[in-house]
């Protein structure tokens, strides 16, 4: 298994999942236009930009986890095994290890006269964005009360030579900052860019009582404790194998306009956000800056891979007939699908819908389907909705719940959540009314044989 971003890029190259671009390219608008086009037309290989105008020697990589296959390659499992690989590691966390000697991410250290826009090829993503952004930065800080080190992915706007706007809406880091600020103190932070994919995706997991630190989870998922080293200018440990580290602190009592920025919803979003004052930048020689396209497959893969696993586990513990959970592509984990075994009554399905919509903060619409539906195929899910759902009796609507801040349809913090019972209950999927079209076994085999021969 890969140990860091560079060795993961070698894995992707061997697996024909890496597209290297040698053409000269501007970080302003062009990098992201290429990433978006590659995603749409080629199904999402990672893209390495080797010739970034204005930044000789530096590279940018994007679309790194823009498919479940690449995430599986990073975690050393196959796509179908992602859920169980994650749930297995979830409870076998590995504490990080402090390393001594050479620290790769501190090969080059900048502390004087910092100039972030000149140091980093941070892209401007979309027309209408307020400026250059870092989207794959893993923000790290210690809980001011317990001292636990934790992480989160948070968008960062380059706002000047040593200032970053940080959108801080998710725990645990939003809570850590609140605690520091209540005491009138700054929160020491680091931003790690260019990490092993396990360290990146672990940062997007929701912290729960049984999970102390996402750094320990990242170690388990990468198959080795996360190697940490002391930061150079703040009292914090940083991932030694990162490509780039920004060190600094979030200033107490400061809020500034941050954005507009084209968000993961597909719309622009701006906020009054806290500010990080950067004290030092350290990096490898010829560093690789990783970026995540906010709207598209990569954000969805990262958000859904493990929240789907957790939701399945929680629901399955309460209702064993829950077989599988997935999220509909293009809907940011706002729209989920749950596959259930037969025998659940409509009343039990209503209970399931209530549980799912309350357990998952982002989930806004949930469709429950029978076990004959392939829930990874949106066409099948839409077919179930079209033919097995009646709005007068199969709809559950829960108004007035807490909404997700970046959803533009949420007003005054409130959202309505909706569940669709698109099962065939009480008839059952095998009943005469719901008999699926099929071919004779012989014809199906014969078709397979003919088409196989054409491929050879």
Ligand X SMILES: Cc1cc2nc3c(=O)[nH]c(=O)nc-3n(C[C@H](O)[C@H](O)[C@H](O)COP(=O)(O)O)c2cc1C
* Cα distance between residue 68 and residue 88, in whole Å: 18
Query: Quick one: 186 or 204, whose CB is closer to ligand X?
Result: 204
Query: Quick one: 297 or 396, whose CB is closer to ligand X?
Result: 297
Closest distance between ligand X and the C-beta of residue 308, in Å?
A: 12
Sign of the alpha-carbon dihedral angle for 139, 226, 195, 101: positive
- 311 in Cβ contact with 356 (< 8 Å): yes
* Cα distance between residue 370 and residue 173, in whole Å: 39
* Cα distance between residue 108 and residue 58, in whole Å: 13
Query: Quick one: 289 or 422, whose CB is closer to ligand X?
Result: 289
Closest distance between ligand X and the C-beta of residue 63, in Å?
A: 12
DSSP code per residue over 310-354:
HHHHHHHHH-TTEEEEEE-TTSTTSEEEEEE-TT--HHHHHHHHH
Query: Quick one: 232 or 307, whose CB is closer to ligand X?
Result: 307
Query: Quick one: 204 or 344, whose CB is closer to ligand X?
Result: 204
Closest distance between ligand X and the C-beta of residue 206, in Å?
A: 4
Closest distance between ligand X and the C-beta of residue 307, in Å?
A: 7
Closest distance between ligand X and the C-beta of residue 84, in Å?
A: 21
Closest distance between ligand X and the C-beta of residue 375, in Å?
A: 21
Per CB under 6 A, residues contacting ligand X are 152-155, 167-171, 203-204, 206, 292, 299, 302-303, 361
Q: What is the 3-state secondary structure (H, E, C) of 169-217?
A: CCCCHHHHHHHHHHCCCCEEEEEEECCCHHHHHHCCCCCCCCCCCHHHH
Query: Quick one: 141 or 302, whose CB is closer to ligand X?
Result: 302
Residue 24 gets which letter from DSSP?
-
Closest distance between ligand X and the C-beta of residue 120, in Å?
A: 17
398 has which bridge partners?
Answer: 417
* Cα distance between residue 370 and residue 280, in whole Å: 55
Strand order in the sheet with 97-98: 97-98, 227-230, 237-239
- 59 in Cβ contact with 27 (< 8 Å): no
Parallel/antiparallel/unpaired status of strands 256-262 and 268-273: antiparallel
Query: Quick one: 13 or 169, whose CB is closer to ligand X?
Result: 169
Tokens at 199, concatenated: 């360290």
> 């107490």: which residue's tokens?
252
Closest distance between ligand X and the C-beta of residue 436, in Å?
A: 37
Query: Quick one: 303 or 353, whose CB is closer to ligand X?
Result: 303
* Cα distance between residue 106 and residue 113, in whole Å: 18
Closest distance between ligand X and the C-beta of residue 145, in Å?
A: 18
* Cα distance between residue 201 and residue 138, in whole Å: 9
Query: Quick one: 8 or 269, whose CB is closer to ligand X?
Result: 269
* Cα distance between residue 402 and residue 417, in whole Å: 9
Q: Could you tell me the CA-to-CA distances from 295 to 46, 124, 172, 309 in Å, in that order?
A: 16, 14, 23, 22
Q: What are phi and psi of 337, to 5 degrees?
A: -130, 135
Closest distance between ligand X and the C-beta of residue 248, in Å?
A: 17
Query: Quick one: 413 or 426, whose CB is closer to ligand X?
Result: 413
């Amino acid at each position: 298994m890969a140990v860091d971003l560079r060795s993961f890029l070698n894995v992707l190259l061997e697996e024909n999942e890496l597209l290297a671009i040698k053409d000269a390219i501007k970080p302003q608008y062009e990098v992201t236009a290429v990433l978006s086009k590659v995603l749409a037309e080629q199904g999402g290989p990672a893209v390495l930009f080797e010739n970034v105008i204005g930044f000789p020697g530096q590279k940018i990589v994007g679309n790194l986890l823009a498919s479940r296959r690449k995430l599986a390659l990073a975690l050393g499992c196959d796509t179908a095994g992602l859920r169980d690989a994650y749930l297995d590691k979830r409870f076998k966390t590995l504490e990080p290890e402090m390393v001594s000697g050479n620290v790769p991410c501190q090969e080059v250290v900048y502390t004087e006269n910092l100039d972030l826009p000149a140091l980093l090829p941070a892209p401007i993503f979309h027309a209408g964005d307020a400026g250059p952004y870092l989207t794959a930065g893993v923000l790290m800080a210690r809980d001011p009360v317990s001292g636990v080190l934790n992480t989160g992915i948070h968008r960062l706007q380059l706002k000047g030579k040593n200032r970053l706007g940080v959108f801080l809406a998710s725990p645990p880091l939003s809570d850590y900052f609140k605690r520091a600020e209540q005491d009138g103190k700054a929160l020491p932070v680091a931003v790690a860019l260019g990490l092993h994919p396990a360290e990146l995706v672990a940062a997007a997991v929701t912290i729960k009582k049984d999970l102390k630190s996402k750094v320990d989870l990242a170690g388990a998922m990468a198959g080795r404790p996360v190697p940490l080293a002391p930061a150079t200018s703040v009292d914090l440990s940083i991932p030694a194998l990162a490509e780039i580290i920004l060190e600094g602190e979030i200033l107490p009592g400061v809020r500034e306009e941050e954005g507009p920025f084209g968000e993961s919803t597909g719309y622009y979003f701006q906020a009054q956000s806290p500010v990080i004052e950067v004290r030092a930048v350290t990096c490898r020689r010829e560093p690789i800056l990783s970026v995540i396209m906010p709207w598209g497959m990569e954000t969805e893969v990262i958000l859904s891979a493990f929240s789907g696993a957790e939701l399945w586990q929680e629901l399955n513990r309460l209702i064993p007939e829950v077989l599988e959970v997935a999220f509909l592509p293009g809907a940011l984990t706002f729209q989920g699908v749950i596959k259930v075994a037969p025998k659940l009554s409509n009343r039990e399905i209503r209970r399931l819908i209530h549980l799912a919509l309350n357990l998952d903060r982002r989930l806004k619409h949930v469709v429950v389907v029978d076990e004959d539906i392939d829930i990874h195929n949106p066409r099948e899910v839409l077919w179930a909705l079209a033919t097995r759902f009646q709005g007068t009796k199969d709809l559950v609507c829960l108004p007035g719940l807490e909404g997700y801040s970046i959803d533009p349809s949420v007003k005054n913090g409130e959202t309505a959540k909706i569940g669709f019972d698109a099962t065939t209950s009480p008839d059952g999927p095998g009943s005469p009314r719901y008999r699926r079209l099929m071919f004779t076994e012989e014809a199906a085999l014969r078709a397979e044989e003919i088409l196989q021969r054409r491929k050879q």
